[in-house]
A and B are shown apart, each in its own frame.
Chain A
Amino acid sequence: MLGSAMQEKVLALFKDYDPSVKAVIAEVLALEQEHLSMKNPRGVVEKIEEIVERIAKNETR
């Protein structure tokens, strides 16, 4: 996990972005964190596609 000061910095840098972009980034970062120990984790890109699709669909509803 990122340290609290680092987390604050990251959150401050993201605060002006569109809510959908923020939602995508938050989920993608959590996913990347889970797979950080693997050099070439399998299935991450596919999971990111799912995240993007779900949030894009919610937006267009």
Chain B
Amino acid sequence: MKLDNIEIENFRQYGGIQRATFSTHSQKNITVFNGNNGCGKTSLFIAINWCLYGEGAENIGELINKEAARKTPAGQEVCARVKLSFRHGGERFISSRELAGIKREDGSVETRTKPSFTLMRIQADGQAIEIKNPIGMMNTILPSNVRTFFLFDGEKIDNFARPDSRDEVRYAIYNVLKLEILERAKNHLSQVAAEHRKELKQASSGELLELLETEDRKRKEKENAINKIQELERERDSAKRKIVDIEKRLRELQSARNLQLQRDGIQEQLERTENDLRNAVKEIREITIRYHSIIASDAIEKARAILDKKRERGEIPSGIRQQFVRDLLEQGKCICGRPIKEGDPSHTHLQGILKRSVSGALEDKVLNTNVTLNILETQNAGIYNQLESAMKRRVQFTDRIRDLQSELDDVTRQLQGSPIEEIAELEGKRKTFEMDIERHHLEIGKCRGIIEDRDREIAELTKQIEQAQKRKSKNELLTRKISLAQQSADAVDKIYQELGEDVRQSIEAKTQEIFKKLVWKESHFKNISLGPDYQLEVIDRYGLPARPELSAGERQVLSLSFITAMVRVSEEEAPIVMDTPFGRLSSEHRASITENLPGLTPQLVLFVTDEELHDEARKNLEKRIGKEYRLIFDPKISSTTIEEAT
């Protein structure tokens, strides 16, 4: 969506008809509305929200301009109207919302109906066609549940940077990135499958009923295990965060600092070594899978010895084919041309070979086995060295991990035995949290095992159910419907998980990139993380979580970075409309945001005061401002007019 122009009539403090055009230029993509406090910036911002979504105006009775109402004779109609023209997907639309009321004798206005909303599509020949389902259409253009991520009050967007903001962050990502569509599709398809299963159960009996009940039970058990994992992961993440806090405190305490730093170093080494171990194990696995013959080297040697022995004893051919000997005897001539006559020693010798030789088929098999054994032996020689080296490394890494863990235990012992009560107590708690995490990991693993088992059992049961159903030749369609709905639900769920993870990683990377551009202390902040639990975190140069220490301005910048990252990743074609964007920001942040933000969105609309936009911020924006307006308030008639700045 790109905004074209707005027309406001008798809306709040805007008396008469006021018009403004938004800049749609790709380079000069900023439209600025400049006004002092109380001049109508927020009213204009509300007008856009109200016109598109009917939202943003808390008190509908106050929408009609008071001066217009005063001038209207009693008993006559007066109305507030906002018309917004915009383009989307190559088409032009005009959205219009109107609230009408009748002036009473006492001077008040009685609004008789709900505001009316129309959405017109403008065709290439200029003709306007009314859209029958305007709300539905608006939702395909820019859904109302994501509008707050595009049209927002700059001073109130720091909620993504607050502690425990994960629900808001998750909600935003799922809505802006439309992952909610997948979530809903999965739930509704599962519901359809469950309803059909119930229907089939009622229509079935005996074996099929039992199978269906078992399948139902297995699905419930799987669901319970999934829920249990989510609960355990939440508890585990909470314990992890508490350990981070304790370690931070230990670093601050003089008497514990060195031991904690020592632990940091050991943990870093441990992490590296565990990674090395994983790589070595992976290499061994790859070698043994790719060159599986290596694990059969002893068997190959034994097979070779058996063949050699049998060949020595003449039990199997030594490479001379039976047919070849028979041909020589029949032709009565050797390959060198010498005659072979019956009774000659050469004839007797060939007869002997023929007697000892075996059938053609076995002969072929023996020869093929010989060739295969040769290939395997040659191949194994090179691979064996590679495998031996990887095995040696695995032993080294395992030993090193054991040593490092023992060093970590030693640090823990020293801290637990500290004469300073706080340190001993902190370390005790840390140990408890660590044990909790271990317990949670075990429990999670157990649950995952249950899920795998249930998946296998369900797959088997699904087959059995389909077979039982086919045997009865009844309810075939119902069975297929269940299968189709469930398969579709499972497919959507799988994709939902994969896409969710993909999107989370993309937003994390993009937020970091934008935050580094926008924040003025970029070297102080090392990283932005958006964990699987959707916790948005800032990591400082010491590798520690810094979100609790962010200033109000930095929180605003973090939220803005996150919103912009979502918009970029979602490729949503929509403007960013910001009311009081820089009010709370220091001059450094104003400068960096005005320098970078215009390049991150296709269209930017700002409602600002003179104070918000001066010096470097104004200089930065100047080159990208396509349209600028001043909001002039006339106290004599309590109304605002919009004037284009020259």
- A residues contacting B by CB (< 8 A) are 1-6, 9-10, 13-14, 17-18, 20-21, 24-25, 28-29, 32-34, 36-37, 44-45, 48-49, 52-53, 55-57, 59-60
Q: With A and B bound together, what is the CA distance between A55 and B177 in angstroms?
A: 29
Q: Are B178 and A2 in contact (CB under 8 A)?
A: yes
Complex: A45 Cα to B571 Cα, angstroms: 29
- In the complex, which residues of chain A have a beta carbon less than 8 angstroms from the beta carbon of B213? none
The listed residue (A1, A21, A44) touching B488 by CB distance below 8 A is A21
Stretch at the interface among B182-190, B254-262, B526-534, B582-590: B182-190
Q: Are B143 and A60 in contact (CB under 8 A)?
A: no
A1: which B residues are within 8 A, CB to CB?
A: 89, 140
Q: List B residues 456-486 near A (Cβ within 8 Å).
A: 476-477, 480-481, 484-485
Bound-state Cα–Cα, A33 to B183, Å = 11
State whether A9 and B488 are in contact (beta carbons under 8 Å apart), knowing that A32-B185, A36-B143, A56-B477 are contacts in the complex.
Answer: no
The 8 Å CB contact of B188, one of A10, A48, A53, is A48
Flag if B484 contacts A20 (CB, 8 Å): yes
Contacting residue for B571 out of A4, A10, A48, A53, CB 8 A: A4
Q: How far is the CB of A39 from chain B (nearest CB, A)?
A: 9
Give the distance to chain A from B54, nearest Cβ to Cβ, in Å: 12
With beta carbons under 8 angstroms apart, the residue of B89, B181, B191, B570 that contacts A36 is B181
B484 near A56 (CB under 8 angstroms)? yes
Task: Tell yes or no: B136 within 8 A of A by CB.
Answer: yes
Bound form: Cα–Cα A12–B143 in Å: 25
Is the CB–CB distance between A52 and B144 below 8 Å? Answer: no
Q: How many A-B residue pairs have CB under 8 A?
A: 105
User: What is the CA–CA distance of A1 and B143 in the complex, to the nearest angstrom?
Assistant: 10
- State whether A52 touches B495 (Cβ < 8 A): no
Contact call A9/B140, Cβ cutoff below 8 A: no
A44 CB to nearest chain B CB (Å): 6
Docked complex Cα distance between A44 and B189 (Å): 10
Q: Lowest 10 A-B CB distances belong to which pairs?
A: A3-B571, A37-B139, A24-B488, A56-B480, A13-B495, A32-B181, A56-B481, A28-B185, A32-B184, A52-B485
Interface magnitude class on chain B: 35 or more
Using Cβ atoms and an 8 Å threshold, which residues of chain A touch B571?
3-6
Given known contacts A17-B491, A59-B480, is B189 in contact with A34 (CB within 8 Å)?
no
Q: When chains A and B are docked, how far (Å) is the Cα of A60 from the Cα of B480?
A: 9
Q: A2-B178, A34-B140, A45-B192 are in contact. Are A55 and B484 (CB under 8 A)?
A: yes
Contact: A21 with B484, CB < 8 Å?
Answer: yes
B477 to chain A, nearest CB (A): 6
Q: Are B498 and A13 in touch, CB under 8 angstroms? A: yes
Question: What would 10 A/B residue contacts be, using CB atoms closer than 8 Å?
Answer: A3-B570, A6-B177, A13-B495, A14-B491, A32-B181, A32-B188, A37-B135, A37-B145, A56-B477, A56-B480
Q: Is B4 an interface residue (CB 8 A)?
A: no
CB-CB < 8 A to A4: which residues of B? Answer: 571
- Known contacts A28-B189, A29-B181, A37-B143: A60-B477 contact under CB 8 Å: yes
Instruction: Using A21-B488, A28-B492, A53-B477 as known contacts, list a sample of 16 further A-B pairs with CB atoms less than 8 Å apart, ordered by residue number in A.
Output: A3-B569, A6-B178, A6-B499, A10-B495, A28-B185, A28-B488, A29-B182, A29-B492, A32-B181, A34-B139, A36-B143, A37-B145, A48-B188, A48-B192, A52-B488, A60-B480
CB of B484 within 8 A of CB of A14, answer no
Q: How far is the CA of A9 from the CA of B184 in the complex (A)?
A: 19
Most buried by B among A14, A36, A45: A36
Give the dominant DSSP class at A's interface. Answer: helix
Q: Whose C-beta in chain A lies nearest to the C-beta of B476?
A: A60
Closest chain B CB from A55 CB (angstroms): 6
Cβ–Cβ contact B499 & A13, under 8 A: yes
Indicate if B425 sits at the interface (CB-CB under 8 A).
no
B487 touches A21 (CB 8 A): yes
Pick from A5, A14, A34, A53: contact of B481, CB under 8 Å: A53
Q: Is the CB of B484 within 8 A of A25?
A: no
B155 within 8 A of A: no
Residue in B138, B185, B481, B488 whose Cβ sees the most chain A Cβ within 10 Å:
B488
For residue B180, CB closer than 8 A to chain A, the reply is yes
Q: How far is the CA of A14 from the CA of B491 in the complex (A)?
A: 8
Q: Which residues on B are within 8 Å of A, measured CB to CB? A: 89, 135-136, 138-140, 143-145, 177-178, 180-182, 184-185, 188-189, 191-192, 195, 476-477, 480-481, 484-485, 487-488, 491-492, 494-495, 498-499, 502-503, 569-572
In this complex, what residue of A is CB-closest to B480? A56
Report A4 CB to chain B, min CB distance, Å: 6
Nearest A residue to B141, CB-CB:
A1
Report the minimum CB–CB distance from A47 to chain B (whole Å): 9
Chain B residue nearest to A18 (CB atoms) is B487
The distance from the CB of B195 to the nearest CB of chain A, in whole angstroms, is 8
Quick check: A36 and B139 within 8 Å, CB to CB? yes
Closest to A53 in B: B481
- Cα of A17 to Cα of B192 in the assembled complex, Å: 20
Question: Nearest Cβ in chain B — how far from A48, in angstroms?
Answer: 5
B530 to chain A, nearest CB (A): 17
Q: Which residues of A contact B498 (CB under 8 A)?
A: 13
Asked whether, in the complex, the Cβ of B488 is within 8 Å of the Cβ of A33, the reply is no
Say how far A27's CB is from chain B's closest CB, in angstroms.
Answer: 10
Distance A17 CA – B184 CA, assembled complex (angstroms):
20
Contacts of A9 in B (CB 8 A): 499, 502
A21 B491 Cβ-Cβ under 8 A:
yes
| Residues of B contacting A56 in the complex (Cβ-Cβ under 8 angstroms) | 477, 480-481, 484
Which chain A positions have C-beta within 8 A of B195?
45, 49
Of the candidates A5, A20, A25, A49, the one having the most CB atoms from chain B within 10 angstroms of its own CB is A25
CA distance A57 to B182 in the complex (A): 25
Q: Quick check: A24 and B485 within 8 Å, CB to CB?
A: yes
**Contact pick for B192, options A33, A36, A52, A59, CB 8 Å:** A52
Which one of A5, A6, A10, A20 has the greatest number of beta carbons of chain B within 10 Å?
A6
CA distance A37 to B138 in the complex (A): 9
Contacts of B180 in A (CB 8 A): 36
User: Please, which residue of chain A has its CB at the minimum distance from the CB of B182?
Assistant: A29
Q: Given A25-B488, A57-B477, A48–B570 Cβ distance below 8 Å?
A: no
Q: How far is the CA of A32 from the CA of B596 in the complex (A)?
A: 36
Question: Of all chain A residues, which has the CB nearest B573?
Answer: A3
Bound together, the chains give a CA A4 to CA B476 distance in angstroms of: 39
CA distance A6 to B570 in the complex (A): 7
